[in-house]
């Protein structure tokens, strides 16, 4: 791995590492990501239970752990984020029976993640999805125990409504622990019809809303966007844009997106990634091919002009 002069805002999503993406390809993607200035690597303890032979997660973290062990010095060049709370209690038990976010569950899941990753700390620990059977205050106290020891540098919330994030931050302030400072949600240039969710998003509060974005801006929380490219549907004619995006607003937005992409000499997807970065949102890429990674990293390295940003934002 060679040095790169600039760091990239792109996050490398590793959901299918160790399952659909084999170890050799996973290593190649991780190597290229770091060579091109990538820093943040995102995983979860439940990745990817639905594609694993055991029906449980852990494969993604294990592959990352092997890559770190095989690349001396790599740990000092990357930041690791992982998530907990969504792992099935046994094969085929999700979503009825999952680990959840009790104090005990958080502690046990985190120990497992450290073991699989082969590290003694993570740079960002996410609550993967809300657990309303557990008081959010109990979860925050469990996170506080981990941040107090230095094993966790930052904490974030994925697929949580703004009001629960606010309650969690209030508890952290009251106990003088490190508060949630990042949100991970589905976000892209297009918007689904009201009352619908994009394919693959099973959480009722998993799509970035105006309220969540307003909350993040007001309190200076980072926002990470998963599935920003609609799994390739922006540019792959064999992947139609999902039906939940079928409304007049999408027609207008795609027209402007096509115009801006043509003027920039790039693709729809690359323009969407640049648009997210211009809005202060960190896009996550979960591709399985080096060419996809290169295109994405080129996209986020090429800033969107103020004029293009204004045009894209103006479409309602």
pTM of structure: 0.95
Distance of CA 74 to CAs 54, 64, 68, 80, 259, Å? 29, 11, 6, 11, 40
- 117-168 confidence digits (pLDDT tens): 999 999 999 999 999 999 999 999 999 999 999 999 999 999 999 999 999 9
pLDDT classification of 2: cutoffs 50, 70, 90: very low
Which domains, ranges and CATH numbers included, belong to the chain?
A: 11-240+281-302 (3.20.20.100)
Token reading at 151: 């094993």
- 57-97 confidence digits (pLDDT tens): 999 999 999 999 999 999 999 999 999 999 999 999 988 99
Nearest to 123 by CA among 152, 150, 85: 152
pLDDT score of 287 = 82
- Answer yes or no: are the C-beta atoms of 178 and 172 closer than 8 Å: yes
Locate all alpha helices (DSSP H) within 196-247, ordered by sequence: 210-219
Q: What are phi and psi of 80, to 5 degrees?
A: -105, 125
Distance of CA 248 to CAs 81, 136, 235, Å? 37, 39, 20
- 198-215 confidence digits (pLDDT tens): 998 999 999 999 999 999
Q: Hey, what long-range contacts does 22-26 have (CB within 8 A, 24 or more apart)?
A: 23/63, 23/66, 25/288, 26/63, 26/64, 26/67
Name the 3-class secondary structure at 222.
Answer: strand
Q: Hey, what long-range contacts does 203-209 have (CB within 8 A, 24 or more apart)?
A: 203/129, 203/130, 203/159, 205/130, 205/159, 205/160, 205/161, 206/129, 206/158, 206/159, 208/183, 208/281, 209/162
CA dihedral 113, 116, 122, 127 (to 10 degrees): -30
Burial class (CB in 10 A: 0-12, 13-18, 19+), 142: buried
**C-alpha to C-alpha distance for 1 and 282, rounded to whole angstroms:** 24
Length of the chain: 316
pLDDT at 17 over 50: yes
pLDDT score of 237 = 92
47, 189, 234, 245: the active-site residue: 47
Residue 222 burial (CB count, 10 A)? 15
Helix (H) or strand (E) holding 248: helix 248-264
Token reading at 296: 């994405």
CA dihedral 131, 135, 141, 147 (to 10 degrees): 20
Instruction: Please work out, in degrees rounded to the nearest 5, the angle formed at the alpha carbon of residue 222 by the alpha carbons of 219 and 227.
Output: 135
Locate all alpha helices (DSSP H) within 118-237, ordered by sequence: 136-148, 162-175, 210-219
pLDDT score of 6 = 79
Compute the average pLDDT of residues 217-242. Answer: 96
The average confidence (pLDDT) of the chain is: 96
Nearest to 177 by CA among 136, 220, 144, 138: 144
**C-alpha to C-alpha distance for 85 and 107, rounded to whole angstroms:** 11
User: Is position 245 annotated as part of the catalytic site?
Assistant: no
């Amino acid at each position: 791995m060679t040095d790169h002069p600039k760091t990239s805002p792109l996050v490398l999503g590793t959901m299918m590492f160790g399952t659909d993406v084999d170890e050799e390809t996973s290593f190649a993607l991780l190597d290229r990501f770091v060579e091109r200035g990538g820093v943040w690597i995102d995983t979860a303890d439940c990745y990817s239970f639905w594609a694993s032979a055991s029906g449980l997660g852990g494969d993604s973290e294990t592959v990352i752990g092997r890559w770190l062990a095989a690349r001396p010095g790599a740990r000092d060049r990357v930041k690791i984020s992982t998530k907990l709370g969504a792992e099935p209690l046994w094969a085929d038990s999700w979503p009825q029976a999952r680990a959840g976010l009790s104090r005990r569950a958080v502690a046990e899941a985190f120990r497992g993640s450290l073991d699989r990753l082969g590290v003694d700390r993570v740079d960002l620990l996410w609550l993967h999805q809300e657990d309303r059977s557990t008081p959010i205050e109990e979860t925050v106290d469990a996170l506080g125990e981990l941040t107090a020891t230095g094993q966790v540098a930052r904490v974030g919330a994925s697929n949580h409504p703004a009001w629960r994030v606010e309650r969690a931050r209030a508890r952290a302030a009251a106990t003088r622990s490190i508060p949630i400072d990042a949100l991970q949600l589905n976000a892209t240039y297009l918007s689904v019809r009201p009352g619908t969710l994009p394919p693959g998003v099973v959480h009722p509060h998993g799509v970035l809303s105006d309220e969540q974005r307003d909350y993040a801006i007001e309190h200076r929380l980072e926002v990470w966007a998963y599935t920003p490219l609609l799994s390739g549907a922006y540019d792959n004619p064999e992947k139609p844009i999902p039906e939940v995006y079928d409304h007049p607003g999408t027609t207008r937005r795609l027209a402007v997106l096509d115009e801006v992409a043509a003027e920039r000499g790039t693709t729809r997807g690359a323009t969407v990634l640049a648009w997210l970065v211009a809005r202060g949102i960190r896009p996550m890429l979960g591709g399985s091919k080096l060419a996809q990674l290169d295109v994405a990293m080129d996209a986020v390295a090429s800033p969107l002009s103020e004029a293009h940003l204004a045009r894209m934002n103006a479409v309602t």
